[in-house]
Amino acid sequence: MTTGLGAVFRPQLPPERLRELAWIADETGLEELWLWEDCFREGGLSTAAAALAWTERVRVGVGLLPVPLRNVAITAMEVASLHRMFPGRPVVGVGHGVQEWMGQVGARVESPVTLLREHLHALRALLRGERITTEGRYVKLDDVALDWPPADPAPPVLAGATGPRSLRLAGEAADGTILTAGTPPDGVRRARQLIDEGRESAGRTEPHKVVVYLLAATGPGAAARLRAELVAEGLASVQDLGVAGDASAVAKAVQRLADAGADTVVLQPTGDEPDPEGFVRFAAEEVRPLVP
């Protein structure tokens, strides 16, 4: 099985640095460049639109859009516009968002799983060009349809998930799943099982893409930077998490995640990566040739 490879433009970087990094991803042949909508840094869809406009071939992922912040009709309108302008290149994921951040902006809900389920069903229906009326607990639409839905087939919608209920929901109601960099290979295997349980309950048989972030560091001080980030995230005790080293070491870590069930592995630099542009070149020119 061919494993997709990508890299993250972390929102710790100012948005004006995105252009150069996107150009490098495009020119070096990297398959995917991923962006985050972390509060309170950069908008996911605005940066994705810019990256897509600046490039010709690289796929641009947004992982993820927090659904409490967005009315589903607006999400559908913006995602559809991206797919019509840049067919086949946007990859959009939605999810609960960090609950502390949702609380800061007055958007935290009592049942994040219910909201995500309602949002996913409505979003995917709108992107299929359907006209829908729904009166859910959180998502309420009255005779809504997009004037400009994406061309057939409708683009996939991914869901970010970590806990068992959310992973089953991703299998039931999304077209793919995004797993955080806190997911080791054994976690990917377990996630696949839960996703498949959700797919089976919904009678879904089409392929389900799993995207996994891999925290990676290379160059001088790589091991210390990786260790510091794992400690800061409370993940230092998790076995087989992250990788520090040269292209061979990183490629082997990618392969372990692929063997566990990942379709695409997205290299996530540490927050203090000294050369983000060089990291993208490293991913495309040194790691990619070593990944089947």
Check pLDDT > 80 for residue 67: yes
Per the structure, the count of domains in the chain is 1
User: For residue 66, is pLDDT > 90?
Assistant: yes
The CA distance from 238 to 184, in Å, is: 8
pLDDT in tens, 199-243: 999 999 999 999 999 999 999 999 999 999 999 999 999 999 999
pLDDT attached to residue 17: 97
What number is the average pLDDT over the span 121-144? 98
Q: How confident is the model at residue 185 (pLDDT cuts 50, 70, 90)?
A: very high
CATH number of the domain within which 208 lies: 3.20.20.30
- The whole-number pLDDT of residue 64 equals 96
Whether the per-residue pLDDT at 24 is higher than 80: the answer is yes
pLDDT at 92: 98
Q: pLDDT tens-digit profile of 158-176?
A: 999 999 999 999 999 999 9
**What is the extent of the structural domain holding 205?**
4-290
Q: β-strands 140-144, 132-135: how paired? A: antiparallel
Q: How high does pLDDT run on average in the chain?
A: 97
pTM: 0.97
pLDDT of 1: 58
